[in-house]
Structure 1
């Protein structure tokens, strides 16, 4: 088995999520059986069992604060439209329905499940009977074990919030056409913090704290009264009964920073941490301190902030990226770390590895190099990997990240490593629209959507060629989701710049995509483009790959999930029909899933097809 395939097959685990009032009970995601599923872990006994078992995998799950129940989201074949289900943490008793019943009855653990295969089982019970399927928009579970606040989104209803209580009828407490969702439930279960975009800007949320009956307690809206829209986000209520402090994120100084908002008094305590880049935070379990996550120039690190003294203390982590962290009751910190060269591992500040999956270990890759290129909107940060000891010019893959509000970082990624193994240099560009470089950089792409990002990608392409890294006759533009969109748009608007295009789950026909996609993404598109396709047709036309399809010269490979609610299949088919009509060189692969796949074999198949397509058309 080649190293690139081992990186996909090697078992991985997520950062374990532990129950607030039962910290020895935890939930994590693993691909140990070949499909990403949820696993229950009793840290006191060391036992681990597979809790979900679905053909297309399961990753959305949470423990109730008492650790007695696992809630998980059940959709259909990856379409993200479904209901919350639940099962006991210990699993189902013999004879009961549920995907984990045989694992419990026969004492199978993770290793045995991976070796022996998965048992078929019925579905767990609906967590909130009678609540119709929807797209999820947040979930908060009460410590009393009887209360849940469920955020939902549908095309018909817009955004709704519901309160479910054991023994009582589920009540709708909020409804609006624009995007909204559940942020958190206070420790005593009396207050709900929610994010909403009633003002119409889906990129910048306002906050509202409401009671369980839906009545308003407090509001915070940084979008009002200014020339710029500023976003807010819920980070969590203080984990102490009767404590009305809410930790939030704000953008008042042009980047994400934490702030403590006392709902009762209205006082806002701005931490003003002297850290460059974006800063987020979460509470330590006793409410005395904050765990600070600091992201800057594609790397991240952790700090501890003592609320009483305002002392900021560095938590030592290796250079690279921390993709998740949690403070435990004993004040140790567990975190998921990786770098471009080193595979992910869950570590603890107590020393050692917290959770080590069984089986083969993922082979290492090569480190990234940082490149800064002057672009039309400012300095552009790019991350470059090249085969060890190789000198240019090399066949080069421009792998474009999705989002667009996301960024590439110095973190382990199996797909770029695979291209490097096959002799390619890989360039990843944090174009305007990316997070981690300040609010102005993230917000810059409005109205000229897609075209702005491609200006930055073009500037980095020019550097790659003139520096001697990239062979101008062997340049691959590729990406997934928003990266797939930019790939197709780039092939049409920059036809002389790219030798080959590989687009996964892309936006291909922006107008049709808008009409077919989930409601929350329609709101985002209205924000980005300034209206609907009927209101701003010229902007949609200018930003749609379909507009430029007749200019495409490079061979095109497209993969798409037939159940994708984000980049729906009909708009991909429209683009492919146009390619076929002019007999352009192209290949299409459709698979039975949604916006990507949680099945390891499927991921490997897709990348193998991409590598083979590149080899056929580029040669070596």
Structure 2
């Protein structure tokens, strides 16, 4: 049955001319990822940029200063890597955002549309499951409905890649040793892809060298082999004490050395080029900072990076740390911290920097599973009434003090005379994942909601990363409903302190956040005035049937089994189950080629909403479909989608 659904209009404008230009420029301003380089040709780098209006791969030759576009595809390209000699650019070729395809290679100097060749002969098409490129060997992972296959190809050989591992459960290529004799892989032969084990294979003999398994509920991550030839130590992420930490494992000897750092929060890291130290990224309370840990002396030193939250980082051969950094108020920059302590801008995108926004404040609410952390951006009276963002527009890229002070002043002015201003309407923007977290980083979508006069609330509910293993795993056996209990606790706290108006709260999210938004509309109808769900899980049973195998494995681990094994649990946690309880306007945004939240199960939910009119209980809903996958890499699409969201919620709230 084909049902026609009301299409959400795309507004021509959201604001007056000045604010219209400001919010759009946050999306259209040129953005760039931190460049990655070829190991033996470090002046050859690649990065992702929206400079052409679509996120594509670009190359930067540091010797000549030349920047070139590498790919030009209708729905964009975001995955690229350079082999050690930098002679080629490898990028992942899928079809219109469906994430199913293979790695291709083209010459370093070639531009868009240049002929390509399969980067790994014989690997075949599938979903990516890891890639490591050595000087003489390449290890690649390919996932299909049949499971995961890991292959190794002798570079320069006309022979096809050989299979070194194959299993019906989820697995991935982890790290290749410097001498390219050892390959570390993660696997879930024990049936829990959320907590993988490690295995190290001898690529010369095909034999297993060693296994590392920390038991149920404790995952391991092969981060990086030592970059020094002859040093077979592997840096591993573990959670033996209930949070992400680091250890060094020598698979040849079995020796394990845990890195004990007196830092709250969670840790990830990599080796310095001489393997004498680790670069440690430390995440705590939604902020990430960098440290150097000396392996011989055990000295831990915080690196003097620019204020803000670090996005990603890597170390050049001379010890320079290149990193990206931003905050909610200040757009991202790509910077270089040199061994002498100087810190400067490494690469500035062409054109004007996008306008800044308002800072977030931290809120902790008492939830049913413990304190829940949320980031709140309050739409001040001045900002919501006039759109005057002069304080954020002029904030220094390395100093957010002025922005914070301006926000505090505006908030004080809004309550001048002892009478509290009525709270602005609020949108609870729920992150995807679920294993992810909202952090104090710049986000153009958040800034658009604030520009529109909404207070934005971002909740790091149970299931989020950055707060320990128990918090992340608390949704096992009851996903969806568990997270929404935390969202409700934050909402109650903000209603009680006068930050939000309970009658003017909308719930919004994409991916897992979209799933939560639809589930909230059906299970918490009294809390919300509107619900917006981008690329959501809407009918969990149908989603499981159609999604990529990697996500089916994730769902089996999350739920404790498949829908055939646990039909009642999948039904209890599916938005489709509660469609008749929806009382508020609903907007659904869906990608036609989405392999993660496939279109059929979204259509099932929309058809069920439409059928309510036949029963005399119509509900207002609209849909926006776009020709891409799990989101769009085309800037014009991104502008249309966020404008549609804001316009819908405005109309829903009257």
What TM-score does the superposition give when structure 2 sets the normalisation length? 0.88
Query: For residue 624 of structure 2, what is the aligned residue in structure 1?
Result: 589
Partner Cα distance (1:296, 1:83) in 2: 36
Stretch deviating more after TM superposition (371-380 or 352-361) = 352-361
Correspondences of 1:278-317 after superposition (within 5 Å): 278-317=266-305
Match in the other structure for 1:608: 643
**Which of the residues 76, 88, 99 maps onto 1:69?**
88
Whether 1:161 aligns to 2:161 is no
> Aligned Cα RMSD in Å?
1.1
Deviations 1:30-82 (A, max 9, x none): 11111111111111111111111111111111110121121110000000000
Equivalences for residues 322-341 of structure 1 within 5 A: 322-341=310-329
Q: Which moved more, 1:246-255 or 1:43-52?
A: 43-52
Aligned to 1:521: 551
Q: Corresponding residue for 2:481? A: 451
Give the secondary-structure state (helix, strand or coil) at the position aligned to 1:20. coil
* Structure-1 separation of matches of 2:96 and 2:121: 21
Tell whether 2:401 aligns with 1:371.
no
CA distance in 1, matches of 2:207, 2:590: 43
Other-structure match for 1:151: 141
Tell whether the 8 Å contact from 1:174 to 1:214 is kept in structure 2 after alignment. Answer: no
Tell me the secondary structure at the aligned position of residue 504 of structure 2. Answer: strand
- Residue 128 of structure 2 is aligned to residue 136 of structure 1: yes
Aligned residues: 585
Secondary structure of the residue aligned to 2:555 is helix
* Residue aligned with 1:491, SS: helix
Determine the C-alpha separation between the residues in 1 that align with 2:43 and 2:576. Answer: 53
Match of 2:97 in 1: 78
Tell me if the contact between 2:106 and 2:115 (Cα under 8 Å) persists in the aligned partners: no
Compute the displacement of 1:184 (Å). Answer: 1.1
Offset of residue 199 of structure 1: 0.5
1:492-525 alpha-carbon deviations (Å, 9 max, x no partner): 0001110000000000000000000000000011
Q: 1:131 Cα shift?
A: 3.0
The equivalent of 2:443 in structure 1 is: 413
Conservation of the 8 A alpha-carbon contact between 1:143 and 1:188? no
Uncovered stretches (5+) of structure 2, i.e. residues with no partner: 1-19, 381-409, 412-420, 613-617
CA distance in 2, matches of 1:171, 1:265: 27
Per the alignment, residue 390 of structure 2 pairs with none
CA contact (8 A) 2:101 2:127 kept: yes
Could you tell me how far apart the structure 2 residues matched to 1:187 and 1:596 are? 37
Kindly state the Cα deviation for residue 215 of structure 1 after the two structures are TM-superposed: 1.8
The SS at the match of 1:460 is helix
The residue that corresponds to 1:180 in the other structure is 171
Deviation at 1:124, TM superposition (A): 1.6
Q: Given the two structures, how large is their TM-score scaled by the length of structure 1?
A: 0.93
| Aligned residue number for residue 94 of structure 1 | none
Q: Where in structure 1 are there 5+ consecutive unaligned residues? A: 92-98, 101-120
Aligned positions of 1:53-68 closer than 5 A: 53-68=72-87
> In 2 relative to 1, CA 123–596 (structure 1 residues): closer, same or farther, beyond 3 Å?
farther
> CA–CA distance in 2 between the matches of 1:90 and 1:265?
44
Counterpart for residue 348 of structure 1: 336
Q: Report Cα offsets for 1:373-429 as digits up to 9, x if no partner.
A: 001000000000012435542100000000000000000011111000010000000
Taking the aligned partners of 1:576 and 1:525, their CA distance within structure 2 comes to: 23
Rounded to whole Å, the distance in 2 between the matches of 1:541 and 1:518 is: 20
Match of 2:49 in 1: 30
Take 2:626 and 2:525, find their aligned partners in 1: how far apart are those partners?
A: 28
* 1:255-297 alpha-carbon deviations (Å, 9 max, x no partner): 1111111122211111101111001111111211110100000
Task: Determine the C-alpha separation between the residues in 1 that align with 2:134 and 2:158.
Answer: 15
Please state if 1:215 is matched with 2:192: no
Secondary structure at the aligned position of 1:150 is classed as strand
1:411-450 equivalences in 2 (<5 Å): 411-450=441-480
Q: Does 1:486 align with 2:516?
A: yes
Assess if the C-alpha contact under 8 Å between 2:323 and 2:336 holds in 1: yes
Provide the C-alpha distance between the structure 1 equivalents of 2:223 and 2:357, rounded to a whole number of angstroms: 34
**Alpha-carbon distance in 2 for matches of 1:493, 1:373:** 21
